[in-house]
Amino acid sequence: MSARIRLKKFGTKKRPFYRIVVMDKREPRDGRTIDELGFYHPIEAEEAQLSFDVEKARTWLRKGALPSDTVRKLFNKKGFYAGDLAEG
C-alpha cells in the first residue's frame, strides 16, 4: 500500500473546507481515510486557517507516506518542511 497525505474536500458549493488526511493513493478524493492530521479552511473572513498535528505528520512521513503538492505547500507555509523528513 502506498499512502499519500492529501486533502479531502468538505463543505458546500463555493464554501469548501478540507481535512488533511492519510489515504491509499488509489482511493478517490473523498474516499476512505487511514488517519486524519488536521484541517484547512481556505475561505475565512480575514485569513485562511490551517492546523495539523505535527507529530502525526512526522510519523506518517517516516513510514513513507508522500504529501501531495498542495499539502507540501501548506506544510511549508506553516514552517514544517516535509521534504527534509521524507528523505532522512
> Which CATH architecture group holds 3-87?
2-Layer Sandwich (3.30)
Rounded CA-CA distance 47/60 in Å is 28
What local confidence, expressed as pLDDT, does residue 39 receive?
94
Rounded CA-CA distance 25/9 in Å is 15
The model's pTM is 0.83
What local confidence, expressed as pLDDT, does residue 22 receive?
95
pLDDT 10s digits, 13-70: 888 999 999 999 898 888 899 999 999 998 876 677 889 999 999 999 999 999 999 9
Rounded CA-CA distance 79/86 in Å is 15
What are the boundaries of each domain within the chain? 3-87
